[in-house]
Structure 1
Amino acid sequence: MTDAYATFAQDSFAGRTVLVTGAASGMGFETARAFLSKGAEVVLCDRDAEGLSKRHDELKGIGASSHEVVADMGDPNSIRRMFDYCDANLARLDNVVTCAAIITAKRIPEQDWAHWQRVLGVNLLGTFFTVQGAVQRMQGSPNGGNIVCVASDAGVHGGGGLIADTAYAASKAGTLSLVKSVARELAGKKVRINALNPGPTDSPMHSHVDQALKDRIAANLPIRRMGQPDDMAAAILFLCSDAASFIYGAALDVDGGSMFR
């Protein structure tokens, strides 16, 4: 286990439950592993059934119990089944982290209607309906809950078609607005929601980016390296922890300094 989580006690999330979407790889998988290592009961969700099963097997023996649920965030019926599983198998739902996303890098002439529908369907609509399901359950709990929606620095400065395209950037900008809107509506109701803004991250999601470009990106970041999935997972742990109890409706930049604002 990486030292990125050493700040958190082994039992930091003991007795708490976490739902993580996009958990078959990259940031989602690392987030699930981080929560498990700190005592949480975790439900891993992903549309990649084979990858999810392999990753779930890797987590056996780490921390508390874990579950796997095949779910496509672009399908509302699948999202409902995901929450049905949680209702049937968890005592309550304390934390939800939306890591599931499609990243695309198409130039404007290559982006058709179907492309936009799929990207927005997973990245924005899927995020909203996951948040909706979480809110419905957390509002009924005396403990409330925490929601973290993974956005992107592309949602702030836009995409250029090289690493991320217009559709992806727009979906992540929408996620940032979604978090603020939900936070306004939930004010005073014991449910916290925040966004995570990852910068350039070396993860399977960026497998379409060649190493030479990754090296150039890293050289141009103030911190001089690409982010790693555990950098993001550690920040998510913090946002869901009691230490972040006064952070609400915010977007936390975890980007190596790519977005000085």
Structure 2
Amino acid sequence: MTPYPTFASDAFAGKTVLITGAASGMGFETARAFLSKGAEIVLADRDAEGLARAKSELSGKVHTVTVDIGQNDSIETMFAYCDANLAQLDHVICCAAIITAKKIPDQDWAHWERVMSVNLLGTFFTVKGAVTRMLGNAEGGNIVCVASDVAYHGGGGLIADTAYAASKAGTLSIVKSVGRELAGKNVRINALNPGPTDSPMHNHIDPALKERIAANLPRRRMGRPHDMAAAILFLCSPEASFVYGTAVDVDGGSSFR
């Protein structure tokens, strides 16, 4: 298990964390990170088999709930599970998303509808569910929404397409807007902008293209789920108490601007 030595082993003891898109990749590694620091975790994903596999590979207080973030009634079921099984909800990490890389002629209405229902609507209604619960917590809570560096420079249809890039730009707007509305409350919301990351979500990218991408990044490598999980731990920690309504780029320099 990656130790994440910056944080004490009990840094999140007594805290609960809901992570969507947690069956693999960044979501799974984020769960591993929080568990290593004493948290109680709810893994949420539409892949029931993946959730079972993830739970078997983790140790600690782990719950699982199957959810399709693109369906509002499924999101409500996810939060109902949390209400029934957790004392309260302290941190919510919105990792669930679908990444697509279609050229413009191949993007039809159904394609955009599915991408937006998961990446944009799903993110907002997960945030809404988190906010309504955290406002009642004595110590508030933290929300982190995973966006993407393509929110800044576009998709282009090679690694990600227009629909995906637009959904992630919308995610940044959700964070800004919700942050403004929560001003003065004890709930923080921030975004994480990963750059190209070597994770199952990017299995659609040809290995040779991954090598070229890595060679062109200032850090000369693709990101890893561990890089993102470490940043999420920070954003949910007391040390980040003045980080609010913003986006943290963890992208190896891909979004220099």
The question of a shared fold, defined as TM-score above 0.5 by the shorter chain, is answered with yes
Identify the residue that residue 57 of structure 1 maps to in structure 2. Answer: 56
Identify the residue that residue 68 of structure 2 maps to in structure 1. Answer: 72
For 1:169 and 1:233, locate their aligned partners in 2 and report how far apart those are by CA, in whole Å: 22
Identify the residue that residue 19 of structure 1 maps to in structure 2. Answer: 18
For 2:119 and 2:32, locate their aligned partners in 1 and report how far apart those are by CA, in whole Å: 22
Equivalent of 2:148 in 140, 145, 152: 152
For 1:260 and 1:158, locate their aligned partners in 2 and report how far apart those are by CA, in whole Å: 14
Q: How does 1:57-136 map to 2 (within 5 A)?
A: 57-59=56-58, 62=59, 64-136=60-132
Identify the residue that residue 197 of structure 1 maps to in structure 2. Answer: 193
Equivalent of 1:183 in 153, 173, 179: 179
| Structure 1 SS opposite 2:228 | helix
For 2:192 and 2:57, locate their aligned partners in 1 and report how far apart those are by CA, in whole Å: 26
Q: Deviations over 1:47-75 (max 9, x none)?
A: 0011111111111xx3x411000000001
Q: Deviations over 1:24-45 (max 9, x none)?
A: 0100000011101100000000
Q: Deviations over 1:168-207 (max 9, x none)?
A: 0000000001100000000011000000000010000000
For 1:175 and 1:192, locate their aligned partners in 2 and report how far apart those are by CA, in whole Å: 15
| Structure 1 SS opposite 2:13 | coil
Corresponding position: 1:170 with 2:166 = yes
Corresponding position: 1:223 with 2:222 = no
| Structure 1 SS opposite 2:132 | helix
- Contact between 2:196 and 2:222, CA under 8 Å: does it hold in 1? yes
- Contact between 2:2 and 2:33, CA under 8 Å: does it hold in 1? no
Task: Please tell me the residue identity of whatever aligns with 1:245.
Answer: S
For 1:155 and 1:117, locate their aligned partners in 2 and report how far apart those are by CA, in whole Å: 18
How far does residue 132 in structure 1 lie from its aligned partner after superposition? 0.1
- Contact between 2:179 and 2:244, CA under 8 Å: does it hold in 1? yes
Identify the residue that residue 248 of structure 2 maps to in structure 1. Answer: 252
The runs of 4+ residues in structure 1 deviating greater than 4 Å are none
| Structure 2 SS opposite 1:149 | strand
- Contact between 2:176 and 2:245, CA under 8 Å: does it hold in 1? yes
How far does residue 141 in structure 1 lie from its aligned partner after superposition? 1.0
Identify the residue that residue 41 of structure 1 maps to in structure 2. Answer: 40
How far does residue 6 in structure 1 lie from its aligned partner after superposition? 1.2
Task: Please tell me the residue identity of whatever aligns with 1:29.
Answer: F
How far does residue 2 in structure 1 lie from its aligned partner after superposition? 2.1
Q: TM-score, normalised by structure 1?
A: 0.98
How far does residue 210 in structure 1 lie from its aligned partner after superposition? 1.0
Q: TM-score, normalised by structure 2?
A: 0.99
For 2:137 and 2:200, locate their aligned partners in 1 and report how far apart those are by CA, in whole Å: 36
How far does residue 11 in structure 1 lie from its aligned partner after superposition? 0.3
Identify the residue that residue 232 of structure 2 maps to in structure 1. Answer: 236
Q: Deviations over 1:123-179 (max 9, x none)?
A: 000000000000000001111000000000011111000000000000000000110
Count, aligned residues: 257
Q: CA RMSD in A?
A: 0.6
How far does residue 229 in structure 1 lie from its aligned partner after superposition? 0.3
| Structure 1 SS opposite 2:43 | strand
